Amino acid sequence: MPTPRTTSLLNATAALLLYGGWAVYANFEHGQKAWLTAGLVQGVYAFLSTLCVTLVALNIYRRYHGGFRGMAAGFSVGFGVMLVIPWAVHSVAGTPNKLHTVLPGLIWGTVYLGAILYLNSKQANTQNTPRKAT
């Protein structure tokens, strides 16, 4: 079974391609500079977000010794990062359709974050201790 770090890197690479491509599509009608900038910004952000948020959420889950509090705390911090940072970055970059650009990442990121925490809690329950994120 791959380590959390390996899983995060593989998922981050997939996120870069998927969300960078979506940003290109969402901003294509605004010209090459707009779609290229949006694709690069969203792709790089999706990579870093997937990589970091997964590890942060799992570490917060562990800090709270798992359970509902750990899941809620990990999810809340991860969701906040997924909402605030891309909006701010796209605002600075001048992305014309910020909502359309970040919404798929926010939706799927929320599902992803919930699934990672849920699966981690199931594995922790099996082992009777929260799993260490590395």
Please report, for residues 14, 38, 85, 88, 106, the alpha-carbon distance to residue 49 in angstroms, rounded to integers and kept in the order given: 12, 16, 9, 14, 11
Confidence (pLDDT) at 1: 40
134 found inside a domain: no
47 found inside a domain: yes
* Cα–Cα distance for residue pair 49/26, rounded to 1 Å: 20
133 found inside a domain: no
132 found inside a domain: no
What would the mean pLDDT of 70-97 be, rounded to a whole number?
89
30 found inside a domain: yes
* Type and span of the H or E element at 18: helix 4-26
- Tell me the average pLDDT of the chain: 86
What would the mean pLDDT of 108-128 be, rounded to a whole number?
83
What would the mean pLDDT of 107-124 be, rounded to a whole number?
87
Question: Encoding tokens for residue 75?
Answer: 């999810």
The closest alpha carbon to 81, from 43, 59, 113, belongs to 113
**Which one is predicted more confidently, 88 or 8?**
88
Percent of the chain residues past pLDDT 70, beyond the cut: 90
What would the mean pLDDT of 88-101 be, rounded to a whole number?
90
101 found inside a domain: yes
Interacting residues of 44 by C-beta distance below 8 A, sequence separation 6+: 16, 20
DSSP 101-120: HHHHHHHHHHHHHHHHHHHH
Q: Which domain holds residue 78?
A: 4-127
Residue 38 · residue 48 · CB < 8 Å:
no
119 found inside a domain: yes
20 found inside a domain: yes
The closest alpha carbon to 73, from 55, 60, 59, 58, belongs to 60
pTM greater than the 0.75 cutoff: no
Task: Specify the number of domains making up the chain.
Answer: 1
